[in-house]
Each structure stands twice: as C-alpha cells, then as structure tokens.
Amino acid sequence: MKSEGALPHRTLLYRLRTLGPGLITGASDDDPSGISTYSVAGATTGLSMLWLALLSTPMMAVIQGMCARIGMVTGEGLSANIRKSIPMPLAYIMAGAVIIANTFNAGADFAGMSASANLVVPQIPVLVWVTFFGALLLVTILFCSYRVIASTFKWLTISLFAYVATAFWIKPDWGSVLRALVTPHIQFSRDWVTTMVGVLGTTITPYLFFWQSSLEVEEEKSMGRTTLAQRRGATPVEIADAHFDVNTGMIFSNAIMAFIIITTALTLYVHHKTHIATAQDAAEALRPLAGHFASLLFTLGIVGTGLLAIPALVGSSAYVVAEMFKFRRGGMNEPPSHAKRFYAVFAAGLLIGVAMCFARVDPIQALYYAAVLNGIVSVPLIFLVIRIATNAKVMGKWRSSLLAKAWAWFAFILMGAAAVAMFAI
C-alpha cells in the first residue's frame, strides 16, 4: 500500500514533465477513425455538430479520469474490475463486444492509413501498404515498447495542426463559429443522428477506457510496484498529477476535433462537397492552406495517428483478455518471452485488422461505421465505469465526486439517447 503525502506546490514545468498516459490516450483518440468521422461531420452537417466538441471535453475528461483512478487505486485494469463487479456471463459478453469493436476499428484504421499513403505514393498498391504497416507495428511491438512507438511517431501527428492553421487561413466569420460552438443544434434525421453517434463514439470510445486504466497500472509496474499489494491505493500527489495528465490529453484531443469540423465545414460543406468517399475527398479540406501538399499533410496525420492508435486498440483488447482470463503474466512492461499469451492476443488483433483490409472495404465508410459501433458499445461501458468509480468499497476515499458523477451520467444519457434515436428515427 502506498503511503499518503501532503499535496505540495507543483510548477507548470513539473506538471509538463508528468504528462504520460493521459496525453498518450488523448493523442491516440484522434485516430484515422476520428479524423474521418469529424471530416464527414463537418462536410455533411456544416457547423451544426461543433457544440459536441465543447460538451464532450468535460464528459471525456471525467470518464477517462475515472478510468485512471480505477487503475491507480485498485492496482488493476478496468477489465479486472468489471469481472469482479458483474456476473461472469455478462462480463464475457461485454469483453467480446469491446474486442469486436476494437478489431473492427483497427482494421478500419489500417484501411484509412493505407488509402492515404497510396494517395501520396500511388505506385505502391494499397494492400502492400496494409502489409507494410501491419509488419512494422508487429515487429515494433515485439521488440520495442509502446512508449518507443509513441515517442517516435507522435511527431507525425503535428500535421493535425494544419487543420488549425487552415481554419485561420480561410478567415471565417468567427462570430458564427463561436455561436455554433456554444449553441446546441439537433436535427431529427437518421443521417444526422447517426453521424452524431459516430462523433461521440470516436471521441468517448471504449478502447480508451481500458487503455487508460491499463497504462496507469503499467506506469506503476515501471516504478517497481510489481505486486498488487504494492500498487493498491494512491497518494494525493499521484491523483493530482493523473488528473492534470488526463485533462491535458482530453483538451488537446477535443481541440483538434473542433478544428477538423470547422475546417471541413468551411471548405467542403460551403462548396457543397458533402460526399466524402475517398482519402482524396477528405484531404481537400486542407487545400486552401497547403495547396498541392494537402494530400501529404492529410496522409501524415492519418498515418501518424494510426501508428499511435492501432497499438492502443489491439493492446486494449489484449489487456481485456489477459485480465478477464487472469493471465499470470501480461502487459507491455513484460518481454514477449515472459507474456506469450498476452502478445499472442496482441498479434492476433493486428493480423485480423490487416486481413480485414483484403476484403476491400471502403476505408472512409469503414472508419465512419467503426466510430458508430464504438458509440453504441460505449453506453453500457460508461455505466460500468460509473458503478466502479463510485463504489466506496473499491475506491475508498478516491471514489468520484458528485460533480464527476453528474457529468458521467450526463454522458451516459446523451450517448444512450443518441444510440436509441439512431434506430428509432
């Protein structure tokens, strides 16, 4: 059990040095599925969904904060806690739904990355790109840690700031943009509501819940806390650092979401280019700023976020399986030779994702519907996260506050209502 300590004053520089799981999780949330879904939202509905970026920021921060606390306080990942809190048949069903959603999302991300790379280097066929990215990630995961992947490829995601620059470059009416940001707008049509479910699903997405809690456990293992007893509990300093980390990651993620919607709404939607069927269509949003380099910038963003997100997706599934079936050894701090079953699940997720691309699915549609699927699966998972995070027997004094519970329940109600409306309208 960790000893308690007073909460000392923390400088901004210290805070920045503590950024870790939350920032990585936030960066991986703007994956190819997210970029494509936000692009579809802006191109087909204009600025009408921009308010979701403002609303989802506290919702996402609260839920991810709950997941971080669960991992830190219990010393176990979210899946292990779910297994203890509900009947095993329901736990297996939930685990299966998450793994299916993660695998489909990974396959869609592979398709989006490969179609984008083919856009820049058309001499190399899409399926060759798929195979290359799959092999690259498999070799990297087996011989390096996810931290190496994150530190290496996160620089490619800087290209996402091209959406920020483009939004300012085209000199929009910022008054209209601000009104769209703070004024909720809902259209009662199946297409609009389905897109809303996709936007929420790719923002508040299931794999991030498991990934966040598991990364917190991995952080503690890296500190030498190898036993469950050593990891249980949390100090005020650790909780404060975790909240700063999570909040920073979620604000970054949702800010990028907002600017992608703004850029596509003010370039594609206003020029009636509302049908995004290819990577080329989506890249057109960056043309006012980047010109002929629009495709390159778009590709760097898609590939960079994909290389960050796919290990998080299949890694999340591996943690779910390892915790659900109580693998004796598992986790990315373990070498493959010591955690063979964990890495076998990891590799299987990568290979199935690659195999999906050989079915020649439409990459943009696959990315979009992956987000919709995540939006549906997220609803029961949010319920379980709230249930665990507010349980005094599990969380002790670190159970969630009344304000956090209110935001989390609001997220549950909003996403649940949107999912129901999608089928009812």
**By three-state DSSP, how is residue 302 classified?**
helix
CATH number at residue 28: 1.20.1740.10
For 386-403, how does the pLDDT look when each residue is reduced to its tens digit (9 = 90+)? Answer: 999 999 999 999 999 999
The predicted pLDDT at position 12 comes to: 59
The predicted pLDDT at position 45 comes to: 95
| 4 lies in some domain | no
Which residue range forms the structural domain that includes residue 103? 12-424
The predicted pLDDT at position 319 comes to: 92
Backbone φ and ψ for 8, nearest 5 degrees, come out as -80, 170
The predicted pLDDT at position 11 comes to: 61
Structural domains counted in the chain: 1
pLDDT band at 2 (very low <50, low <70, confident <90, very high): low
The predicted pLDDT at position 58 comes to: 94
| 23 lies in some domain | yes
336 CB contacts (<8 Å, ≥6 apart)? Answer: 142, 343
| 2 lies in some domain | no
382 CB contacts (<8 Å, ≥6 apart)? Answer: 63, 204, 408, 411, 412, 415
Residues 48-59, mean pLDDT to the nearest whole number: 94
DSSP state of 282: H
Write out the two tokens for 326: 């109580």
The predicted pLDDT at position 75 comes to: 92
pLDDT band at 326 (very low <50, low <70, confident <90, very high): confident
| 6 lies in some domain | no
- Give the separation between CA 325 and CA 31, rounded to whole angstroms: 29
| 272 lies in some domain | yes
The predicted pLDDT at position 50 comes to: 97
Examine the pLDDT at 4 and tell me if it is beyond 70: no
The predicted pLDDT at position 7 comes to: 52
pLDDT band at 124 (very low <50, low <70, confident <90, very high): very high
pLDDT band at 8 (very low <50, low <70, confident <90, very high): low
**8 Å CB contact between 415 and 378:** yes
| 7 lies in some domain | no
| 153 lies in some domain | yes
Instruction: Find the radius of gyration of the CA atoms of the chain.
Output: 20
Examine the pLDDT at 18 and tell me if it is beyond 80: no
The predicted pLDDT at position 150 comes to: 67
Residues 22-41, mean pLDDT to the nearest whole number: 81
Residue located via tokens 């495709």? 295
The predicted pLDDT at position 212 comes to: 85
Write out the two tokens for 316: 């999340």
Residues 56-62, mean pLDDT to the nearest whole number: 93
| 235 lies in some domain | yes
For 264-316, how does the pLDDT look when each residue is reduced to its tens digit (9 = 90+)? Answer: 999 999 998 888 878 888 899 999 988 889 999 999 989 988 888 898 899 99
107 CB contacts (<8 Å, ≥6 apart)? Answer: 352, 353, 354, 355, 356, 357, 361, 366
The predicted pLDDT at position 20 comes to: 60
Model-wide pTM > 0.85: yes
Examine the pLDDT at 329 and tell me if it is beyond 80: no
